[in-house]
Structure 1
Amino acid sequence: MCGRFTLTAEVEAISERFNFDPPIRGYEKRYNIAPSQQVLAIIHDGKKNRAGYLKWGLVPPWASDPAIGHKLINARGETVAEKPSFKQAFKKRRCLILANGFYEWKRDGKIKIPMYISLKDNRLFAFAGLWETYKTEGNPLHTCTIITTSPNELVRDVHDRMPVIIPREKEQTWLDLTMEESRVQEIIKPYPAEEMFTYQVPSLVNSPKNEGSILLERDEPTTFF
């Protein structure tokens, strides 16, 4: 699964990398983004990329209770096109969820060790995401989920799932809602392990209340695949 991630780049770098016009209202660097919080995402409106915030935890339009979003922070890539909670969003509401790293917890007996995982140059990337709008009596609720897949050789040593990281050259394909579904599904696969690294981080990250660059301090040597 993917239950925590980071977005620590400058806003100008983000807008240049993902080709949308700044500013991003309310943007702050985040070192411990957690479910139910707002995440920065990109959609394509048919003419250009647009950036905005979505609440992490997808709420389908037909849901009787928006609390279902707490259970839908991730969507399994193997079944995302068929599951009732995700299939319409997979066809019509795909998005990029922006990040530059994520956390997973490695088991050592009864102990869970927090690990930070990123690309080798710590560059910005995008998770494969889906979004929905849930209508309420007040303001509509815009939510999202992150798609996961089987782990690559690096992540396998930490966890049995990993988020789908979209290669830069395929990001617009993911956003293009006219694209054939078979081409979109080809994107749902593990990111190459040789382009990633991981290292242990402080247990402070275990609480979503904690923030700041201290969460990325190394507790052990970096491991490359």
Structure 2
Amino acid sequence: MCGRYTIAVTLEELMIRYMIGAVTVPYHQPKYNVAPGQMVLAIVNDGKQNRLGELKWGLIPPWADSPKVGYMMLNARSETAAAKPAFQTPLRRKRCLIPADGFYEWKKDAAGKGKQPMRIVRRDRSIFSMAGLYETWTAPDGTTVNSCTIMTTAPNTLMAPIHDRMPVILHQDDERLWLDRSIQEPQELYQLLQPFPADELEAYPVAAAVGNVRHDEPNCIEPISLEPSPQDEQLGLW
């Protein structure tokens, strides 16, 4: 699955990367620990141009009784999305890009007793797009919530030892196809929903503090060493 990610870039960088002419987002600051339920940046295409806006992470279907159902729909499995009531319509008509520059996953340690958070990035550290779906839900009082989910797929060889799923990361040349509203047959999109090449990604360990959703600081993405220091060994801490 994908339950945390980073987008530690400026709004200007995003506008250049996705060829956005103007935005309605009032303010954006680098995010080092994006979590479910938060408002996240997303790109949609209106048929003429790309638009950047905010969606709540956790898709809420139009027929839902409560917005809380969104917490159960953070991810959509690419293999079964076309058959799921919550994802059928968005897969055909409401696709989006979720920009990121890294995502987190927790890897079990050798003893199977603990988990080490890992950050996965592109080797060139560039921005990438996760395939997303979006939907609009209307509350009984008439207010609307625009929400999204992130597509997932089988892990590549880098991710397999870490987790059994990974987000669908689109090749930049495929982003336009994913956003193209004229394409409404899921089978035309399956070629895009494949594991991203392992040799273009890198994974490194980060501090356990990233597990706290309130911790959103630059040190979330700093690599840590898993090797014991000589001092730790002398003190018997390893």
Choose from 104, 109, 112 the match for 2:115. 112
Is the 1:199–1:220 contact (alpha carbons within 8 Å) kept by the matching residues of 2? Answer: no
Is the 2:9–2:29 contact (alpha carbons within 8 Å) kept by the matching residues of 1? Answer: no
Equivalent-residue separation in structure 2 for 1:142 and 1:190 (angstroms): 27
Please report the TM-score for the alignment, with normalisation by the length of structure 1. 0.95
2:165 maps to amino acid: R
Is the 1:99–1:125 contact (alpha carbons within 8 Å) kept by the matching residues of 2? Answer: yes
> Residue by residue, what CA displacement relative to the aligned partner does 1:27-62 show, whole Å, maximum 9, x if unpaired?
111000000001100000011101100000000001
- SS of the equivalent of 1:60 reads coil
- SS of the equivalent of 1:31 reads strand
- SS of the equivalent of 1:156 reads coil
Equivalent-residue separation in structure 2 for 1:111 and 1:21 (angstroms): 46
Q: Within 5 A, what are the aligned runs for 1:85-124? A: 85-108=86-109, 109-124=112-127
Aligned to 2:47: 46
1:37 aligns with 2:38: yes
- Unaligned stretches of 5+ residues in structure 1: none
Aligned to 2:17: 17
Aligned to 1:55: 56
CA drift of 1:64 comes to 1.3
Structure 1 stretches of at least 4 aligned residues deviating more than 6 Å after TM superposition: none
Quote the sequence identity (%): 43
Equivalent-residue separation in structure 2 for 1:105 and 1:128 (angstroms): 21
Equivalent-residue separation in structure 2 for 1:120 and 1:41 (angstroms): 23
- SS of the equivalent of 1:15 reads helix
> Residue by residue, what CA displacement relative to the aligned partner does 1:142-200 show, whole Å, maximum 9, x if unpaired?
00000000000001111110000010000000000212432212100100000000100
Choose from 171, 182, 187 the match for 2:192. 187
Aligned to 2:6: 6
Aligned to 1:197: 202
**Cα root mean square deviation, aligned:** 1.1
Equivalent-residue separation in structure 1 for 2:82 and 2:186 (angstroms): 9
- Unaligned stretches of 5+ residues in structure 2: 227-238
Equivalent-residue separation in structure 1 for 2:79 and 2:66 (angstroms): 26
CA drift of 1:138 comes to 4.1
The alignment covers a number of residue pairs equal to: 221
1:142 aligns with 2:143: no
Is the 1:96–1:126 contact (alpha carbons within 8 Å) kept by the matching residues of 2? Answer: yes
- SS of the equivalent of 1:171 reads helix
1:158 aligns with 2:162: yes
> Residue by residue, what CA displacement relative to the aligned partner does 1:63-114 show, whole Å, maximum 9, x if unpaired?
1121100100000010011111101110010000110000000011110100
2:108 maps to amino acid: R
CA drift of 1:220 comes to 2.7
